[in-house]
Amino acid sequence: MSEIRERVRRTYAEAALHVGVEGCGCGSGGCCDAGTSDAGELYGEQAGEVPEWAALASLGCGNPVAVAELRPGEVVLDLGSGGGIDVILSAKRVGPDGLAYGLDMTDEMLELARRNATAAAATNVQFLKGYMEEVPLPDRSVDVIISNCVINLSADKPRVFEEMARVLRPGGRLGISDIVAGDDLSPTQRAERGSWAGCIAGALSFGEYEADLRRAGFMDVRLTPTHEVADGIFSAIVQATKPFTKGS
pLDDT value, residue 197? 67
Any domain includes 138? yes
Any domain includes 26? yes
Residue 174: what are its φ and ψ, rounded to 5°? -110, 140
- The candidate with the shortest Cα–Cα distance to 149, out of 226, 224, 64, is 64
Residue 232: what are its φ and ψ, rounded to 5°? 80, 10
- The candidate with the shortest Cα–Cα distance to 221, out of 165, 182, 167, is 165
Any domain includes 56? yes
Q: 4: which residues sit within 8 A by CB, 6+ positions away? A: 153, 155, 196, 202
Any domain includes 248? no
Any domain includes 246? no
- Do 100 and 68 form a contact (C-beta atoms < 8 A)? no
Which range (8-12, 146-150, 155-159, 217-221) has the least confidence? 8-12
Any domain includes 247? no
Any domain includes 13? yes
Which range (86-95, 123-132, 190-199) has the least confidence? 190-199
Residue range(s) defining the domain that contains residue 93: 2-241
pLDDT value, residue 55? 61
Q: How many domains are contained in the chain?
A: 1
Comparison of pLDDT for 84 and 34, the residue scoring more:
84
- By CB atoms closer than 10 A (0-12, 13-18, 19+), residue 21 is exposed
| Rounded-to-integer distance, Cα 113 and Cα 68, Å | 21
Q: Which residues of 219-244 are buried (b: 16+ CB within 10 A; e: fewer)?
A: eebebeeeeebbebbbbbbbbbbbee
Any domain includes 14? yes
- pLDDT tens digits, 145-204: 999 999 999 999 999 999 999 999 999 999 999 999 999 999 889 888 877 767 787 899
CATH number of the CATH domain containing 110: 3.40.50.150
Of all residues in the chain, what percent carry a pLDDT higher than 90?
A: 63
Q: What angle do CA 150, 203, 144 make, to 5 degrees?
A: 40
From residue 108, give the alpha-carbon distance in Å to each of 10, 37, 81, 82, 113: 10, 22, 12, 9, 9
